[in-house]
Amino acid sequence: MAEPTETRVAVYIDFDNIVISQYDNTHGRGTFIKEKARAAGGKTAERLEAADVNIGAILDFASSFGAVAISRAYADWAAPANTRYQKQLVERAVDLVQLFNTSGTKNGADIRLAIDVVEDLFRLPDVTHVVIVAGDSDYIPLAQRARRLGRTVIGIGVAGSTSAAFKNACDDFSYYGDLDESDTPDSPEPVAITPAEPEVVESTDPKRDARKLLVRALRARNDDVDGWVMASTLKSQMKRLDAAFDEKKAGYKSFTDFIKANSSLAELHEDGQNRRVRLKSR
């Protein structure tokens, strides 16, 4: 059972909103509808790839606020523009909520998402943070309601497609473009019929995997202006990103030894028993 003081996060993604906004931000306002990109046919398939949504960056950032208790993505998952992301989302343990597009443009995600958030907040009093990935002004009342219920509201939206009033309704707001700094973003894969038995891929280089996880955690977790984060907090963040992480499996006696061995990636500052870490300047 979680400690009463532990922060717990609920993440709600209006996925249609983010895909459309990212496409328009990359190719010009209104182009998603004008080019009928939802069907991902012809040249729009390539243009959708140029406007990829890095799901990992969003979820890593959300996890920096605490343990993720709920993560849901709302969209018409039959639409090819969204279908290409299904495998990634499922692998990151995100629940896919199906919304049928009855109007040809809007799928009603804001209504369903808002109902779920309010229901979850009354049902799960231990949820302390609500992350809304959208930007539509329709979410302003939801953000206000969640704050009145004593939750911290974090908003994530795409530049150029986010309501200023929605930003002001959140306790904390970040633009998606500021989160997407990963050197190895999650790229959508074409949807295909998967084999009946799941594939199990064992890591061949645990040291390399641990280094990559360290960088992801430091990019997601940034407590101070100068980028420093407590070593204990950093390790917790790495465990949130990959529950199987253990520095001993990678060949290090302690977490401090692990950080010191990767001084080319991270700086370590020790002051007695206090240890702080930050990403090395690039």
Question: Which CATH number does the domain housing residue 155 bear?
Answer: 3.40.50.1010
pLDDT at residue 219, as a whole number: 84
Say yes or no: 247 and 211 in one domain: yes
- Shared domain for 95 and 170, answered yes or no, is yes
* Residue bearing the bigger pLDDT, 4 or 74: 74
Residue 113 lies in a domain: yes
Residue 205's CB is within 10 A of a number of other CB atoms, namely 10
In this structure, the answer to whether residues 169 and 70 fall within a common structural domain is: yes
**What are residue 133's DSSP bridge partners?**
13, 156
* Mean pLDDT for the chain overall: 84
Is residue 86's pLDDT more than 50? yes
Residue 188 covered by a domain: no
- pLDDT tens-digit profile of 167-193? 889 988 888 988 875 443 344 444 443
Domain presence at residue 15: yes
Torsion 188-189-190-191 (CA) sign: negative
Same domain, 256 and 159: no
Low-confidence winner among 33-37, 85-89, 117-121, 236-240 (lowest mean pLDDT) = 236-240
Task: Give the pLDDT confidence score for residue 224 in this predicted structure.
Answer: 59
Q: What percent of the chain has pLDDT over 70?
A: 85
Q: Are residues 171 and 219 in the same domain?
A: no
Determine the Cα–Cα distance for residues 282 and 279; give it in Å rounded to an integer: 9
> For residue 5, what pLDDT is reported?
58
Check if the beta carbon of residue 153 is closer than 8 Å to that of residue 19: no
Tell whether 227 is covered by a domain: yes
User: Which of 104-113, 141-150, 153-162 is the least confident region?
Assistant: 104-113
Taking residues 125-133, report their average pLDDT: 95
Answer yes or no: is pLDDT of 202 > 60. no
Please check whether residues 167 and 245 belong to one and the same domain: no
pLDDT at 232: 85
CA-based end-to-end distance of the chain: 40
Is the pLDDT confidence value at 233 over 60?
yes
243/168 same-domain check: no
**Total structural domains in the chain?**
2
Does residue 156 belong to any structural domain of this protein?
Answer: yes
Q: Is the Cβ–Cβ distance between 158 and 18 less than 8 Å?
A: yes
pLDDT at site 236: 83
61/150 same-domain check: yes
- What is the rounded radius of gyration, in angstroms, for the C-alpha atoms of the chain? 20
Q: Quick one: how far is CA 135 from the chain centroid?
A: 15
User: Of 149, 153, 152, whose CA–CA distance to 140 is shortest?
Assistant: 153
Q: Phi and psi (nearest 5°) for 98?
A: -80, 130
15-24, 145-154, 200-209, 226-235: the lowest-pLDDT one: 200-209
Same domain flag for 139 and 228: no
pLDDT at 109: 80
The pLDDT of residue 241 is above 60 = yes
Q: Which of 6-10, 93-97, 198-202 has the lowest mean pLDDT?
A: 198-202
> pLDDT value at position 200?
40
| Domain hosting residue 250, numbered range | 206-279
pLDDT of residue 106: 53
Q: Is 68 helix (H, G, I), strand (E, B) or coil?
A: strand
Query: Are 175 and 211 found together in one domain?
Result: no
Q: Is residue 71 part of a domain?
A: yes
Q: Are residues 150 and 63 in the same domain?
A: yes
CATH of the domain at 263: 3.30.420.610
Q: Are residues 28 and 93 in the same domain?
A: yes
Whether 103 is in a domain gets the answer yes
Nearest-angstrom CA–CA distance, 181 and 234: 18
Mean pLDDT along residues 248-275: 88
In a domain, residue 93? The reply is yes
